[in-house]
Amino acid sequence: MGVLIIVGTVGLVVALVQRMNTAASGLTAGVSTDLALRQPAGTRIGQIAVIDNRLAVWVERPDGGRILLIDPRSARQVGEIRLGE
């Protein structure tokens, strides 16, 4: 009886680890992690937020602040909002 409890516990742990690995790999499927913002020298990132499946990246440039809207699936900039010009 003790052997069955140990085998069952080991089986449960193996199943949980496999499901966690499958779920973690599914989170990054189809999402590029290679992204270049192509901003001028002296630009710094202020904040990053997620809005409607897009990244909103606030950048402080020498010529003023901007919010860049990035589509993480295609790793492309899809919009830009200029702040305080």
Integer Cα distance of 69 and 54 in angstroms:
6
Same domain, 10 and 36: no
Same domain, 39 and 53: yes
Low-confidence ranges of the chain (pLDDT < 50): none
pLDDT, residue 24, reads: 56
Same domain, 36 and 61: yes
* Structural domain of 21: 1-30
Q: Considering its fold, how many domains does the chain have in total?
A: 2
pLDDT, residue 68, reads: 93
Same domain, 25 and 51: no
Q: What share of the chain is helix, strand, coil (3-state, %, to 5)?
A: 30, 40, 30
